[in-house]
Amino acid sequence: MLRLFLLTALVLLGMTPAVHAAEPDLPDTTDTPAGPPAEAAKPDPDDPDIGLLRTLAADSDPRIRAAVAGRADVPPDLLAQLARDPVWQVRAAVARNARTPDDARRRLARDSQAAVRAAVAGSAKPPATLQKGLAEDPQSEVRAALAENPTAGAELIRRLARDKDADVRRATAANPKAPGDVLELLAGDKEMPVRCAVGRNPFAPDAMLRHLAADERYEVRANVAGNPRAPADLLRLLATDEKPFVRKALAANPAVPLDVLRGLSDDDDAAVAAQARTSLRKRGQRP
C-alpha cells in the first residue's frame, strides 16, 4: 500500500515513470552500491516537496527513482546519489538531467551501459572535456547521440560526419548546428537515410535542398518535401513528383502554399488527397 501511495504521489507531482515494468533489468554493479538505500531519507523540514522527492528517490521501484531523476527540481546532491543507482534506466535519467553535477556526469560517461553513456552524450550540457571521449566511444549509439547534439563542437561534428557507421552520419546530418561544409559532404553520402536527414534539416541551404529534390530515391525527395524551410518554388515542383509518398509528405508540410495544397486535395492518390484535406482543415480552410 505504501508503494501504491508513493506511485500515486508521483503522478500527482507530474512525474512520468521512465522504466517499463515489462523490462526486467539486471543491476550493473560497476561503481554502484548493491542497491537503493534501505531506508528512505527523512523529509526536508524546510521544503516538503523536496523532502518527498528524497523519500521517492529511496523507493524500491526503479520506475519511481527514474522519474525522480528526471525532475527539473531535483537537488544536485540527490542526483549525485541516484547516479550510483544499480538500475541503468535510473542512471540514464540522471545523465539527461541538466542539473546533474559535472563529477557525476563524468562518472556516467564511463558507465558500462552504452545507453547511459548515450544519455550523457545527448544531454543539454555534456562537459566539453567529455565530448572527445564520447566521440570515440566504441558503441555507435553513443557517437550518434553526440553527433545530433547541438552543443557538440564543430570539429567533433566534422569528425563524426566521416564516421564509419551510417547511423552516426545520419545523426550528424540531422544536427541543426551542423556546419554547411558538413551538410554538403553528407548530402552526397552513399546511404539513403543520411541524405534523408540532410533533406529534412531545416537549416540546410536552399541550393542543397534543390539538389536533393532531384535525388534518385523518392524517400530523400519526400524529406525535402516535408521540410518547412524549403523554398516555395521547390515545394511547387515537388507537387508534381511521380511518387505519392512524396506528394503526401508535401501535403503534410505546414509551409506548402495554399493553392498547392488545394490542388493536392484532388490528387489521384486517396492518401495524398486525404492528407491535403486534413492540412486544409488545420489551416481553417474548407477542403
Let me know: does 119 contact 146? Beta carbons within 8 Å: no
The H-or-E segment that residue 81 falls in is helix 76-82
**172-178, long-range: CB within 8 Å, 24+ apart, which pairs?**
172/147, 172/148, 173/197, 173/198, 173/201, 174/148, 174/200, 174/201, 175/147, 175/148, 175/149, 175/150, 175/201, 176/150, 176/201, 176/202, 176/203, 177/150, 177/151, 177/152, 177/203, 178/203
Query: Within 10 Å of residue 262's Cβ, how many Cβ atoms?
Result: 15
Mean pLDDT of the chain: 87
Q: Model confidence over 21-58: pLDDT tens digits? A: 333 343 443 444 434 443 444 444 456 578 888 999 99
Spatial separation of the C-alpha atoms in residues 22 and 131, rounded to whole Å: 33
- Over range 80-95, report the average pLDDT: 97
Q: What percent of the chain has pLDDT over 90?
A: 77
Instruction: Please list, residue by residue across 225-237, b when 16 or more beta carbons sit within 10 angstroms of its beta carbon and e when fewer do.
Output: bbbeebeeebbeb
Q: What is the pTM of this model?
A: 0.81
Name which of 52, 55, 51, 104 is nearest 76 in CA terms. 104
Which of these, 178, 196, 194, lies nearest to 186 by C-alpha position?
194
Cell of 188: 552526397
Q: Write phi, then psi, for 56 (nearest 5 degrees).
A: -65, -30
Q: Which of 55, 22, 19, 20 is nearest to 36 (CA)?
A: 55
Task: Output the 3-class SS for 217-261.
Answer: CHHHHHHHHCCCCCCHHHHHHHCCCCCHHHHHHHHCCCCCCHHHH
Q: Are 243 and 221 spatial neighbours (Cβ–Cβ below 8 Å)?
A: yes
Local structure of residue 113 (DSSP, 8 states): S
pLDDT at residue 127 in the model? 76
**Cβ contacts of 14 within 8 Å, gap of 6 or more:** none
> Which structural domains are found in the chain, ordered by start?
1-102 (no CATH), 136-191 (no CATH), 205-287 (1.25.10)
CB 255 within 8 A of CB 265: no
pLDDT in tens, 115-172: 999 999 999 877 788 899 999 999 999 999 999 999 998 999 999 999 999 999 999 9
> How many other C-beta atoms lie within 10 A of the C-beta of residue 78?
21
Residues 6+ apart with CB under 8 A from 259: none
Q: What is the pLDDT of residues 236-277, one digit of tens each?
A: 999 999 999 999 999 999 999 999 999 999 999 999 999 999
